[in-house]
């Protein structure tokens, strides 16, 4: 076993340990504090006590959604930053979140969530994200070539249009619907539907596995399209696969938890500085740290002004943005 492999195993062990520690911390903190020892005994002995109800009916579902959404956003960020060779690209750059948000706003403004139940909002959100994905892809695909720089500009413009449409919908919405729209836009890991939780976990894991199957192509593409072509990579096919994969993962995240920023931008960028640019190790560790970061932020959101709960998107934006600025300032100062 060479030195690089040992180093990769060490990085993976550390990142997985961070996820485990953060998960246990998330289960133990909240408006009703539960000690780590009680968490351990509750996992072993599934009784019908109040602590078990809090752990398994309230906190564990949030933890699972945090793992799925945080991991998927981080994987999307790694894919897009590698494909565009730009560390400032994130999963929301292409207007996918805006499309999902616009459709969810329509759903809530029309009161469809009250008529059809909890499934209708994620369905509308996913449809909106896929519509934007198809529009961006169609406008960027010219003469058999997917023009990624044009795709970036189109995505940014669609994002602005979607944001304006969301504000228009909010201005025309009833007062009782407005609060729900605002809270959804700011992001939350509170998902009562068990089927949606399992679906988000499945999509997140499948997305991670599929991206890892093309990890060598992503390494080649991050060197440049011409270099990747000389290395035997079908550049156009690979770009299409990565764009669709990142769009599906992002659409799932926005549909389940709302718009949670900075995870897909902050986590891949920091890990590239710490463990390098090789996607063979970057992908899996981004999944672990993305999940850990979102779970940690959700824990802070639940306790910082308890019993009032902050939207998790507010916390990720404040923490992620502050740390990101600090890192960039340190790099510039060197």
262 vs 319: CA distance, rounded Å = 9
Q: What is the mean pLDDT of residues 271-284?
A: 87
At 18, the pLDDT band (50, 70, 90 cuts) reads very high
71 vs 176: CA distance, rounded Å = 33
Residue 101 has pLDDT above 70, yes or no: yes
Are 13 and 277 in contact, with CB atoms under 8 Å apart?
no
Torsion of CA 11, 79, 298, 105, to 10 degrees: -170
Supply the pLDDT for residue 334: 58
Are 247 and 80 in contact, with CB atoms under 8 Å apart?
no
Which whole-number Å values give the CA distances from 73 to 138, 143, 240, in the listed order?
Answer: 23, 31, 18
Supply the pLDDT for residue 64: 92
Supply the pLDDT for residue 25: 87
Which neighbouring-strand residues pair with 141?
146
Are 93 and 156 in contact, with CB atoms under 8 Å apart?
yes
In the chain, what are the helix, strand and coil shares in percent, each to the nearest 5?
80, 0, 20
Supply the pLDDT for residue 289: 94
Residue 219 has pLDDT above 70, yes or no: yes
The hierarchical CATH code for the domain 3-333 is 1.10.3470.10
- Tens digit of pLDDT for each residue in 46-76? 666 666 677 777 788 889 999 999 999 999 9
Angle between helices 60-84 and 148-172 (to 10 degrees): 140
Q: Where are the domains of the chain?
A: 3-333
pTM for the whole thing?
0.89
Supply the pLDDT for residue 21: 92
Tell me which residue of 189, 183, 175 sits closest to 72, measured CA to CA. 189
34 vs 64: CA distance, rounded Å = 18
303 vs 323: CA distance, rounded Å = 21
Supply the pLDDT for residue 46: 62
Supply the pLDDT for residue 75: 93
Q: Residue 219: which H helix or E strand, with range? A: helix 215-221
103 vs 125: CA distance, rounded Å = 6
Residue 290 has pLDDT above 90, yes or no: yes
Q: Find all residues with CB under 8 Å of 91, minimum gap 6, and list them.
A: 73, 76, 77, 80, 97, 246, 249, 250, 253, 264
């Amino acid at each position: 076993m060479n030195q690089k492999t040992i180093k990769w195993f060490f990085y993976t062990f550390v990142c997985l340990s961070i996820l485990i520690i953060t998960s246990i911390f998330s289960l133990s903190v909240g408006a009703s504090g539960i000690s780590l020892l009680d968490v351990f005994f509750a996992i072993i002995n599934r009784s019908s006590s109040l602590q078990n109800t809090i752990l398994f009916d309230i906190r564990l579902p949030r933890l699972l959604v945090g793992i799925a959404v945080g991991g998927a956003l981080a994987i999307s960020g790694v894919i897009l930053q590698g494909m565009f060779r730009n560390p400032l690209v994130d999963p929301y750059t292409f207007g996918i979140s805006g499309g999902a948000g616009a459709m969810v706003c329509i759903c809530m403004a029309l009161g469809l969530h009250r008529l059809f139940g909890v499934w209708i909002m994620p369905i509308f959100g996913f449809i909106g994200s896929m519509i934007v994905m198809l529009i961006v892809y169609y406008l960027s695909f010219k003469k058999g070539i997917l023009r990624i720089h044009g795709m970036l500009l189109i995505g940014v413009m669609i994002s602005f249009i979607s944001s304006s449409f969301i504000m228009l919908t909010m201005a025309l919405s009833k007062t009782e619907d407005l609060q729900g729209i605002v809270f959804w836009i700011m992001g939350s890991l509170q998902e009562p539907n068990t089927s949606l939780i399992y679906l988000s976990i499945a999509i997140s894991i499948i997305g991670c596995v599929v991206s890892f199957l093309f990890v060598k192509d992503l390494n080649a593409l991050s060197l440049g399209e011409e270099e990747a072509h000389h290395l035997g990579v079908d550049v156009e096919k690979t770009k299409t696969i990565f764009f669709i994969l990142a769009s599906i993962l992002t659409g799932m995240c926005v549909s389940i938890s709302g718009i949670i920023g900075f995870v897909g931008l902050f986590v891949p960028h920091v890990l590239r500085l710490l463990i390098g640019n090789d996607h063979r190790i970057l992908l899996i560790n981004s999944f672990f740290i993305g999940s850990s970061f979102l779970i940690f932020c959700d824990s802070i959101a639940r306790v910082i002004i308890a019993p009032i709960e902050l939207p998790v998107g507010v916390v990720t934006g404040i923490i992620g943005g502050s740390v990101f600025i600090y890192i960039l300032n340190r790099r510039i100062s060197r």
